[in-house]
Amino acid sequence: MSFDPNSVSIFYICIPDQEVIQSEMILRRYRTYLTSVLVLAAFVVPSVNMAYSAPLAVSNTANPGSEGTANQYIVHSHAIHLADQQIIALLNRNQYKAAILLLQKAINEDQDAWAADTIGHLYASGLGVTADAKEAFRWYLWSAEHGGHFAQRQVANAYLNGWGTKRSPQKAAYWFRQGMAPSQVAGTEYWLAKTYAHAKLAPPNPQKVHYYKQKSVQTLRDLDQEPNGAAAYDLGIAYLYGNGVAQNRQKALTYFRQAMQLQYPKAAAAIHQLQGQGS
């Protein structure tokens, strides 16, 4: 497919500290700092000319997020975190084989997405095991499918470059949407709204503040169609604070609960806090 760099959302921005960017030049200047990942942006947010790829299941039956309460989710997450500390200590001492045994236990007993992502790193680097790109990808994909957001980015890059698996731009785009797009695309649009609101890099422009807030929310809605835990969480934040939408705490809670079901950790803390405030 062809794409127009001026019509797609962007992933990375980098602004020199001393450079003042004026009004209509702002987006053009941002784009001068993009890496080759810009090409993927044509796949990231769907449009009328491009349908989503088939959604991949994101589940973690060992984690109570799917059916439990926010408190159960937080308790479970803390327990996994404490267990992972022993593994981290082994890794820091370069005791990789011993760490792998505990990583596999964490995966089998708790479906620990971090543990699977870590095994993927070990296979990718040949630490404690024979380097094996296909085996690394297998563990990255397992982690990604069980809510591992860092692994989702690894899987996206693997599908994009053919690392340990067959290249697939469509699957790469799907996992970039899961692991990166809410923060890097919708987040950039919201950041632009704040830029125009506070006049730090461009003259104040209320119309563009409104435009980019609305655009950010619409991007999140598009991403949430798959569904997408990070997008659901950010929509909850938008409704909680009235960013680009009318403030609505009940809708915020609904989106936070959806995000928790999709194994997005921040959502459980948000629900816990709102329920503690008597919402």
Give the domains, in start order, of the chain with CATH numbers: 70-173 (1.25.40.10)
Least confident of 51-65, 110-124, 177-191, 206-220: 51-65
Split at pLDDT 50, 70, 90, the class of 235 is very high
Question: Distance (Å, rounded) from C-alpha 237 to C-alpha 221?
Answer: 13
160 with 167: CB under 8 angstroms? Answer: yes
Question: Distance (Å, rounded) from C-alpha 150 to C-alpha 179?
Answer: 7
38 with 31: CB under 8 angstroms? Answer: yes
218: alpha, beta or left, given left = phi > 0 and alpha = psi -120 to 50?
alpha
Tell me: pLDDT of 6 over 80.
no
Tell me: pLDDT of 22 over 50.
no
For residue range 147-176, what is the model confidence (pLDDT) as tens digits? Answer: 888 899 899 999 989 999 999 888 888 888
Phi, psi of 47 (to 5 degrees): -135, 180
Question: Distance (Å, rounded) from C-alpha 272 to C-alpha 83?
Answer: 23
Instruction: Report the predicted TM-score, pTM, of the whole model to 2 decimal places.
Output: 0.72
Helix axes 113-125, 70-92, angle to 10 degrees: 30
134 with 165: CB under 8 angstroms? Answer: yes
Most confident of 14-28, 32-46, 137-151: 137-151
